[in-house]
Amino acid sequence: MCLRVLNNLNEQYPVTGRNMNWFRPINVSLYRFTEGLEKQGLTHKQMHTLALPQSAVFKWRSSYASVVAMMGDDEQGYAAVDGMNDQGLMVNALYDTPATYAPAEPNQNNRNISVLCWPQYILDCFADAKSVAEYARHNTLVILDDLVPEGGNERELVPAHIHLAVSDKTGNSSIIEITNGVLSVYENPKYQVVTNEPDYATQLSILKHWQYLWGQTQPRIDTPVYTVMGGYTPIQSFDNAAFYLSLSDKTEQPEDVLAQTRAFMQKGAIPYQFNPKQSDHATCTRWTNMADHHSKTYYFINPLNMMPVWLDVKHTGQPSAKIQLITVKESKIDNHSELHGNLQKQLIHCQDPFALMTH
């Protein structure tokens, strides 16, 4: 189950990590976009499926450049899963089982947007977690359900029930959940750890229990219990990440914050081929990404490769460029193990999957 950790122990150098856990291999590409791009919230295929006219689809112009991890392909479409913009804003889309959406509004002009590209809109138009939270409290967009385009058999695709975890260069955090199309917002730098379920209010209640046992609250327990249950379920991943984060000292150097955050994410990762229930599709950590909010660098770590890769959000060239990081075709998987280090020179020009269509 997915896990997000905001390591803001050192307020000068916050780093956000995310484990992407999924039940089968995923097509994923890394995109880089410049600012000033015209985009829209639904493709022609999605508009046809929902019987929506072009006028009802939400459209926007990007104010910021971004680096984004996209799931999917040209056949199934694309979903913005994670990304960081040139203001140091990070958006992580995590699966959220209780999420529910409003129906499409064909008579509402410029309002409907797929949840698959909603994270891209946030990256394109907001500079910090506070402004995202303020937007979400007064949201007028109609956010629509969709199927996750992860490269599997299209008949087996699952609904895109997600919530967003947003973090920024100040170390602030916003969590946004969707219930019947209505957004609930949790904003606080202390909201560091997020996982799939239960709802975030319940996650915070569970955290309060653990932090009392760990001696992190006042009045402080006389005999703190420095332990946490193991396991791989969402709440166990939450507990484990919060345990190590709550009881760690801050590090002074940016490179040490990166190393510390990577260790937090490894503690919450699910090993490849871990299969306690002997399932046909066992969930494991398909990748880990980290956002260095200070240097504006986005890191991607495939556990089946030895070397991490990264892109600097600040360096932009072509309006839309990409590189394929994991390719799934039929039963074959290419993890592109030849890639390592800075991917700047490997980017190739491509079509923006969310580009505004003029006809």
213-234: pLDDT as tens digits: 999 999 899 999 998 878 888 9
**Burial degree of 203 (CB within 10 A; 0-12, 13-18, 19+):** buried
> Could you tell me if residue 65 is inside a domain?
yes
Mean pLDDT on 274-292: 92
Peptide bond into 224 cis (omega under 30): no
List the CATH number of the domain containing 33.
3.60.60.10
Helix/strand/coil for 178 = strand
Mean pLDDT on 279-288: 91
Full domain range(s) for residue 138: 3-195+284-349
Helix/strand/coil for 87 = coil
Please say whether the beta carbons of 126 and 114 come within 8 A: no
Question: Tokens in use for 122?
Answer: 């946030």
The owner of tokens 């009802």 is: 56
> Could you tell me if residue 100 is inside a domain?
yes
Please say whether the beta carbons of 342 and 312 come within 8 A: yes
Q: How many domains, in total, are found in the chain?
A: 1
The DSSP bridge partners found for residue 40 are: 59
The answer on pLDDT for 151 being more than 80 is no
Helix/strand/coil for 243 = helix
Beta strand 320-329 with 284-292 is unpaired
Q: What is the pLDDT of residue 228?
A: 80
**Least confidently predicted of 152-161, 219-228, 307-316:** 152-161
- Alpha-carbon span 207 to 220, nearest angstrom: 15
**Burial degree of 198 (CB within 10 A; 0-12, 13-18, 19+):** middle
C-alpha closest to that of 136 among 81, 178, 108: 178
Count of C-beta atoms within a 10 Å radius of residue 148: 23
> Could you tell me if residue 217 is inside a domain?
no
The DSSP bridge partners found for residue 348 are: 322
Q: What is the pLDDT of residue 158?
A: 87
Helix/strand/coil for 156 = helix
> Could you tell me if residue 98 is inside a domain?
yes
- Quickly list DSSP for 186-242: EE-TT--EEESSS-HHHHHHHHHHHHHHTT-SSSPPSS--------SSHHHHHHHHH
> Could you tell me if residue 274 is inside a domain?
no
What is this structure's pTM?
Answer: 0.95
> Could you tell me if residue 271 is inside a domain?
no
pLDDT in tens, 95-110: 998 899 999 999 999 9
> Could you tell me if residue 248 is inside a domain?
no
Q: What is the pLDDT of residue 271?
A: 94
Residue 340 banded pLDDT, cuts 50, 70, 90: very high
> Could you tell me if residue 7 is inside a domain?
yes
Peptide bond into 103 cis (omega under 30): no
Q: What is the pLDDT of residue 359?
A: 59
pLDDT in tens, 82-140: 999 999 999 999 999 889 999 999 999 999 999 999 999 999 999 999 999 999 999 99
